[in-house]
Amino acid sequence: MKYKILINPKAKIDIQTAIQWYNTKSLGLGKVFHLFLKSQIEVLKNNPFFQIRYRNVRCLPLRKYPFMIHFTVDESKHEVRIRAIFNTSLDPQKWK
């Protein structure tokens, strides 16, 4: 059974910020990033059991980009809650 994906409003801001930043580097690059991110979110629908990094938060690194999807899994509700799309080039204390 596939998991339902819920994206926290702050994570949506993370996504928009990343898309805008990539578009400043090259027109259309933000769309490429967004499509890749969506493909990785699809992975979470089928298999969300990645390594727990801290306080029940799991992380899925994006292979092509310096970002990690931070999320929690509610097995009883079959839900994945995406808490952040964090740029690993930034100070981790910024997110916590």
For the residues of 19-80, what is the DSSP string, one character each?
A: HHHHHHHSTTHHHHHHHHHHHHHHHHHH---PPEEETTEEEEE-TTSSEEEEEEEETTTTEE
Domains of the chain by start residue, with CATH: 4-94 (3.30.2310.20)
At 2 the pLDDT is 94
DSSP 82: E
At 91 the pLDDT is 57
At 92 the pLDDT is 57
- The per-residue pLDDT for range 12-22, each reduced to its tens digit, is 999 999 999 99
- The per-residue pLDDT for range 2-56, each reduced to its tens digit, is 999 999 999 999 999 999 999 999 999 999 999 999 999 999 999 999 999 999 9
